[in-house]
């Protein structure tokens, strides 16, 4: 279940490297989407959904029609953290 808001939004080293390697258009699109995500993770434009198989237990949001950001929800007590772990095209992430 996705909380209505996270207390923190973090990312790991792998995500940061993928973000830096992405085209400026993708970085700007991610920045825009993560602002929406921070206000309302359930915003329909994000197409936020639970993943299965290789990414079982993780969630994904749409960055563009082909790019996705994958994150893990971590809840400890009252803390609800969105921890971004991967950024890439649909094929890069799901194949």
pLDDT tens string for the chain (95 positions)? 455 678 899 999 999 999 999 999 999 999 999 999 999 999 999 999 999 999 999 999 999 999 999 999 998 888 889 999 999 999 999 88
Structural domain count of the chain:
1
Residue 2, pLDDT score: 55
Q: Answer yes or no: is 2 within a domain.
A: no
Residue 59, pLDDT score: 97
Q: Which domain holds residue 25?
A: 14-73
Question: What are the start-end ranges of the H helices in 22-86?
Answer: 24-39
Residue 3, pLDDT score: 54
Q: Answer yes or no: is 91 within a domain.
A: no
Kindly tell me the burial class for residue 73, based on how many C-beta atoms sit within 10 Å of its own C-beta (0-12, 13-18, 19 or more): middle
Q: Answer yes or no: is 7 within a domain.
A: no
* CATH number of 27's domain: 3.30.2310.20
What's the pTM? 0.91
Cβ–Cβ under 8 Å, residues 41 and 6: yes
């Amino acid at each position: 279940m996705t909380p209505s808001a996270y207390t923190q939004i973090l990312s790991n080293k792998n995500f940061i490297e993928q973000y830096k390697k992405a085209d400026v258009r993708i970085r700007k699109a991610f920045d825009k989407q993560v602002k929406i995500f921070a206000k309302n993770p359930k915003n329909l434009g994000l197409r936020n959904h639970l993943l299965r198989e290789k990414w079982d237990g993780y969630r994904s949001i749409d960055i563009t029609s082909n790019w996705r950001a994958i994150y893990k929800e971590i809840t400890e007590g009252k803390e609800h953290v969105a921890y971004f772990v991967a950024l890439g095209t649909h094929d890069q992430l799901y194949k």
